[in-house]
Structure 1
Amino acid sequence: MNSVSSCGLERRIEGEDQSLRYLQPAIYRELEDKVTRKELESRAFIETIIKLVQRNLSHNGIQAQIAGRLKHFYSIYRKMVRRDIAFEQIYDIIAFRILVNDKAECYNVLGIIHSLWRPLPSRFKDFIGIPKANMYQSLHTTVIGPDGRHVEFQIRTHEMHQIAEMGIAAHWHYKEGYQLDDHDRKQMDWLRQMIEWQQDVDNPGEFLDSVKIDLFSEAVYVFTPTGEVKELPSGSTPIDMAYSIHSKVGDHCSGAKVNGKLVPLRYHLKNGEMVEIVTSTKQHPNKDWLAFVKTSKAKTKIRQWVKKEEERRSIELGRELCEKAFSRVKQSFNQTLKSGKMQAAAEEFSLKHAEALLAAIGRGKLSARQVINRIFPELRNSQKGKGEKEEKKSAPKPVRDGISIKDIDDVMVRFAKCCNPLPGDDVVGFITRGRGLTIHRHNCRHVDQGNSERYMDVSWNLERSSSHLVKIKVMCEDAKGLLVALGTAISSQGANITSGSMKTTIDQKAHCYFEIQIKDLDHLKRVKMALRAVKGVYQVTRIS
């Protein structure tokens, strides 16, 4: 029962039902038929409940509006899937809503309902004492009603109902001209947080996904060591908890204790747990956290820190590249920076300041050579007329082991061990702090798809290529002399084995692992063909 848009609840229900209608038409028609028949059967039951509750509330001096209905199709379908049961096995298909004038009456009504029928403790939720993140408030309880049928009641004030139906904006109808209280401030904080998320997330779909997690997920309620209750989406971790306390607590979260015991940061918090966050000034957000944190606030703050850190690293690398390039043309980079010439060059490249220029160089968007040519045009002019020498300087330069990088000299290059790229593979260069340029296979899972500005175009210079390590796995029948046969096949293609191991299974199969030195992708293909020709081998794969 969450909403932030006008008439959001009704549209959400309608949208869910229509989605079910078009995505699962057969199931929808079956539910529509059964619910219609159930509605006819339930009319008298609903009227009986309403009259009984109304009479008891009036007797206690409580004026209330009571409405009863059958739950909507998608809600029923979701319950059938979650519990793996048939329609006939759903007993809590009828729900009643009771609206009263103030908060105290909500709890009085709850007491009266529980005096009439036995409640199910596991189905009681107090969203008035502990509102949802979007300030939804209501009491939910399910009782065993007449004939043993499960009946759900939602109890709230008229104002709470307006917020549930039309969103937080409806609340201000009741507050115009009054100062904000704690409740109002929480609502405003939530709205500000929504705006902040929207500004920090570039992808609108990603923003909507984040909002849906905060609004429509089942909640868990945990306690701080001081007894404060924190509401978090189901599946939240200690890091989510840390960010819900304060951004700085989240940024420096190094561990957590749940009920006095240390737990991993990936741990999923459960209802009623007491969570103590352990912090350290040496700890900083980790990009890997994004894979398991749940809340929008945690994701936004982690992305903010990672973005700032990557900007700092790009500036550092850009400075390093400039210092080397300026030194080669016998110019002082530091003096050029202090003189304001770097600032002027930045503006010529439509950048705001010199640091932005350094970051662009560090990300590979510009080269240090381009900047030097812009600041010192006389150096560029002095190079003209040198024919072949000038042509060579403007061409992509082989830096190491057959990799060519356009417009950049003397950058440190390393090959990623996670995917062991070979000449002939589609590759991409990725700028890494303190490591220069790391070469990955284009489809490597460790390539950060979300930071394309740190990529650099690289290519293979096969004339300068040397041997490269690659790992392969051979699956075959276990037999005497197997390793000798496999080793002979590899050697026959001119490849050198640097390490090897073998594991056998209970069904007489063998898994053999080799690390070999290969010249390029074609060389690897020849080795694989030779291995497949060995008797008993049924699969040869490259391990990335």
Structure 2
Amino acid sequence: MIRQYELVDRVKAYDTGANEDALNRAYVFSMMAHGSQKRASGDPYFSHPLEVAGILTELKLDSDTIVTGLLHDTVEDTLATIDEIQTQFGDSVAHLVDGVTKLSKFELQSADKRQVENFRKLLMATSRDIRVLLVKLADRLHNMRTLQFIKGSDKRARIARETMEIYAPLAERIGMQRIKDELEDLAFAELYPDARNTILARLDFLRTEAIETEIIDEISNELGEVLKGQGLSIDVSGREKRPFSIWRKMQRQNVEFAQLSDIMAFRMVVDSVPHCYEALGIIHGNYSCVPGRFKDYISTPKRNGYQSIHTGVIGPKKRRIEIQIRTHEMHQVADLGVAAHWQYKQDSSGPSGEVYEYRWVRELLDILEHADDPDEFLEHTKLDLFQDQVFCFTPQGELIALPRGATPVDFAYEVHSEVGDACVGAKINGRLVQLQTKLRNGDQIEIVTSKPGVPSPDWEDFVVTGKARARIRRFVKSKQRTEYRQLGEAMLERAFAKNGYQSSDQAIESVVEQLGVPSLDDLFVAIGQGHITAQSVSEIVVNGEDVEPLKRHLVGGDTDSSSNGAEELVSAIPIRGLIPGMAVHYSNCCHPLPGDRIVGIQTPGKGIAVHTIDCETLESFHEMPERWVDISWDLGSAEDGTHIGRLNLVVANQRGGLANLATVVANSQGNIVNLKITNRTSELFEMLLDIEVHDSKHLNDIMAALRGVSVVSSVSRVVQ
């Protein structure tokens, strides 16, 4: 373990104004607080905060951050309190320790919810002071270095996966490449040990044969000579790519190790930005450039502040190599990220604040606000943390960085949530495009808006940012909740009316707790979603002690008032018996059309599925009458939408036959949306035809017209 004086000397070596007294007191406080506690390895627990503090000294961080590293587990794992920390070490350290302290397991019983809430707390604290995240990453790094001592393989895998999916990307986001690389390789060793060992064996073979080592040295020397011959002062170094980086490239390109042509990377460090571009020109003048491998992160830095020029060339020995060109300062930032440029005002007020405003932290907090469950939040977080970037511009010239594959809708939400909600169109470089168009580097994007605007549920199919997806899902879920509530309330009214009762909120509320539902609204939603049946709720109310609040009515008498009240809500859906705007979909098994006899089936989480009365699927619901909903087409509705009718045709295999069919359908005011040939011979072929029509009569008219075509042998409607 690091001795007390050694830790203090490490800090004083790079910070002559370090608070030596606070460091000494924190060392003793942590050692006494953890006492006889042991790690899974059998080492004293105090060794862990001491190693965390040691990692932080390698990053050359200030005294308060080192003190926090020593104290970071005292509140969570000992009897120490935040008040004690504040009294002995001040407000700054207390806030930092509180930021890295997990919530109590007793506060949140669900492990998933606890994980998300702990992450929420970490992000909120990080948004106020980035040093919270630096301590957390150092904490995670030491835990990963000692992961092998945890006995449960499932627990090790969970920690490694969380590291790979959350903490390594977080380290990358603040530019801490060194920590990110080690976290990834440690997690890789736990999650994919065989793959890692195979790659290490191949690299060892290359080293043993002196193949790779000699080539790296020779290429480094030749590159250095070429550049120095042009008068540039430059440091050139070469290295093998990391095992995880090699494996990831093998996975992405779907190739074997032997097929990789660029497992070597070379770095050139020069004195100034002009020298970076001069070096690039010399390299491209002497070696063939690999198309598509040039990236200028100096003029357009990454969101974490990273700057370098990347290029790929066919270099010395005819080897394909990657080259990074940067200044000494850029090299420090690339390696240590925020720790390289974190500066403080050493006065009574403490740290001066962030050098960079880490907007992405606030974006993740925004995702947290709009995500409704732990799995959804983690999904959106990974979306935002993992992806490569594309750089686009607003009409005013503002640079917007987005994940690769982003669309104008992602761009709109990146500008502002309200712009995203109101988006109705977009122009790329002055040309109108579809909203699902993928953006490219350098595109200028203009968003066309209309207020009041609302997100389209269809957008979720093509957006890629967690922020956009969370906002869209939140809107959709809010809309669906309203629909389910209205549906559930109407269904419960009908369940009471069917048995001669009138619904009463007062009576229903009396059983809300009995059913384990938080509120009356939640009960209605649960009924609408199909998680609780209206019939079971009505039976609980009627058969309990709460019959008195209900008014008994004769069947066929006033009971109609309940159902009439529901039907007064005029819906845009041309179906009687549904609530306005409720979740409803037309089943693909039978393709119901206005004019058909129909029935509704309550589907958990999806609302009402509309089937034709003779649909064979209904047989599977024969024993579940409580899920059947009595509905019919409202043929007097003003709604004049289209529906899909499916036909089965047998047609002679003649030239121009399909063209004749299309002409007949078009002349009958129908629209073919899909055609599938299911069987074909030399004389005939059988096909399924999906046609947009207004109702069953419209489809029948089209069928009659098709029967008049000479090439049509038979035509029938598909209802199953």
Q: Which amino acid aligns with 1:511?
A: E
Does 1:184 find its partner at 2:356? yes
Task: Tell me, in whole angstroms, the C-alpha distance in 2 between the residues paired with 1:70 and 1:80.
Answer: 15
Does 1:511 find its partner at 2:680? no
Q: Compute the displacement of 1:230 (Å).
A: 1.6
Task: Tell me, in whole angstroms, the C-alpha distance in 2 between the residues paired with 1:25 and 1:359.
Answer: 52
Q: Which residue of 1 aligns with 2:397?
A: 227
Task: Tell me, in whole angstroms, the C-alpha distance in 2 between the residues paired with 1:4 and 1:110.
Answer: 28
Q: Which residue of 1 aligns with 2:538?
A: 369
Task: Tell me, in whole angstroms, the C-alpha distance in 1 between the residues paired with 2:208 and 2:386.
Answer: 27
CA distances 1:506-544 after superposition (whole Å, capped 9, x unpaired): 8434115599xxxxxxxxxxxxxxxxxxxxxxxxxx887
Gaps of 5+ in 1: 384-409, 442-455, 480-500, 516-541
Does 1:308 find its partner at 2:478? yes
Task: Tell me, in whole angstroms, the C-alpha distance in 2 between the residues paired with 1:83 and 1:332.
Answer: 63
Q: Compute the displacement of 1:460 (Å).
A: 6.1
| More relative contact order, 1 or 2 (CA 8 Å, 6+ apart) | 1
Question: Quick one: which of 12, 27, 43 aligns to 2:184?
Answer: 12
Does 1:41 find its partner at 2:214? yes
| 1:175–1:96 distance in 2 versus 1, CA, 3 Å | farther
CA distances 1:346-367 after superposition (whole Å, capped 9, x unpaired): 4565555443343334334443
Task: Tell me, in whole angstroms, the C-alpha distance in 2 between the residues paired with 1:222 and 1:259.
Answer: 10
Task: Tell me, in whole angstroms, the C-alpha distance in 2 between the residues paired with 1:324 and 1:229.
Answer: 57
Task: Tell me, in whole angstroms, the C-alpha distance in 1 between the residues paired with 2:360 and 2:207.
Answer: 38
Q: Is the 8 A contact 1:117 1:144 kept in 2?
A: no
SS of 1:4's equivalent in the other structure is helix
Q: Is the 8 A contact 1:321 1:411 kept in 2?
A: no
Aligned length in residues: 445
Q: Compute the displacement of 1:244 (Å).
A: 1.0
Does 1:459 find its partner at 2:614? no
Q: Which residue of 2 aligns with 1:273?
A: 443
Alignment of 1:306-455 (within 5 A): 306-321=476-491, 346=512, 349-366=515-532, 367=534, 369=538, 373=542, 376-378=546-548, 416-420=586-590, 429=603, 437-439=608-610
Task: Tell me, in whole angstroms, the C-alpha distance in 1 between the residues paired with 2:275 and 2:189.
Answer: 31
Gaps of 5+ in 2: 1-163, 554-576, 593-600, 613-620, 631-643, 655-675, 691-717
Q: Which amino acid aligns with 2:170?
A: V
Q: Is the 8 A contact 2:392 2:442 kept in 1?
A: yes
Task: Tell me, in whole angstroms, the C-alpha distance in 1 between the residues paired with 2:459 and 2:406.
Answer: 12
| 1:200–1:171 distance in 2 versus 1, CA, 3 Å | farther
Question: Quick one: which of 414, 427, 435 aligns to 1:244?
Answer: 414
SS of 2:170's equivalent in the other structure is coil
Q: Compute the displacement of 1:299 (Å).
A: 1.1
SS of 2:279's equivalent in the other structure is helix
| 1:346–1:72 distance in 2 versus 1, CA, 3 Å | same
Q: Compute the displacement of 1:242 (Å).
A: 1.1
Q: Which amino acid aligns with 2:624?
A: S
**Deviates most, 35-44 or 299-308:** 35-44
Question: Quick one: which of 256, 261, 283 aligns to 1:117?
Answer: 283
| 1:440–1:306 distance in 2 versus 1, CA, 3 Å | farther
Q: Compute the displacement of 1:317 (Å).
A: 2.4
Q: Is the 8 A contact 1:253 1:277 kept in 2?
A: yes
SS of 1:362's equivalent in the other structure is helix
| 1:346–1:53 distance in 2 versus 1, CA, 3 Å | farther
SS of 2:361's equivalent in the other structure is helix
Q: Which amino acid aligns with 1:248?
A: E
Task: Tell me, in whole angstroms, the C-alpha distance in 2 between the residues paired with 1:99 and 1:502.
Answer: 63
Task: Tell me, in whole angstroms, the C-alpha distance in 2 between the residues paired with 1:291 and 1:256.
Answer: 17
Q: Is the 8 A contact 1:429 1:458 kept in 2?
A: no
TM-score (normalizing by structure 2): 0.48
Q: Which residue of 2 aligns with 1:407?
A: none
Task: Tell me, in whole angstroms, the C-alpha distance in 2 between the residues paired with 1:221 and 1:96.
Answer: 25
| 1:301–1:129 distance in 2 versus 1, CA, 3 Å | farther
CA distances 1:337-385 after superposition (whole Å, capped 9, x unpaired): 7xxx7766645655554433433343344436268547943268989xx
| 1:20–1:165 distance in 2 versus 1, CA, 3 Å | farther
Q: Which residue of 2 aligns with 1:403?
A: none
**Deviates most, 270-279 or 85-94:** 85-94
Percent of aligned pairs with the same amino acid? 31
Q: Which amino acid aligns with 2:538?
A: R
Task: Tell me, in whole angstroms, the C-alpha distance in 2 between the residues paired with 1:330 and 1:134.
Answer: 65
SS of 1:184's equivalent in the other structure is coil
Q: Compute the displacement of 1:214 (Å).
A: 3.2
CA distances 1:191-213 after superposition (whole Å, capped 9, x unpaired): 23334445655676665554444
Q: Compute the displacement of 1:324 (Å).
A: 5.1
| 1:108–1:22 distance in 2 versus 1, CA, 3 Å | same
| 1:19–1:507 distance in 2 versus 1, CA, 3 Å | farther
Q: Compute the displacement of 1:69 (Å).
A: 0.7
Q: Which amino acid aligns with 2:213?
A: L
Q: Is the 8 A contact 1:8 1:167 kept in 2?
A: no
Question: Quick one: which of 270, 274, 297 aligns to 1:127?
Answer: 297
Q: Compute the displacement of 1:288 (Å).
A: 2.4
Q: Which residue of 2 aligns with 1:260?
A: 430
Does 1:96 find its partner at 2:276? no
User: Larger % of strand: which?
Assistant: 1
| 1:178–1:421 distance in 2 versus 1, CA, 3 Å | same
Q: Is the 8 A contact 2:199 2:257 kept in 1?
A: no
**Deviates most, 251-260 or 363-372:** 363-372
| 1:42–1:147 distance in 2 versus 1, CA, 3 Å | closer
TM-score (normalizing by structure 1): 0.61
Aligned-residue RMSD, C-alpha? 5.7
SS of 1:222's equivalent in the other structure is strand
CA distances 1:11-43 after superposition (whole Å, capped 9, x unpaired): 325656887773598788667645765413314
Q: Compute the displacement of 1:250 (Å).
A: 1.3
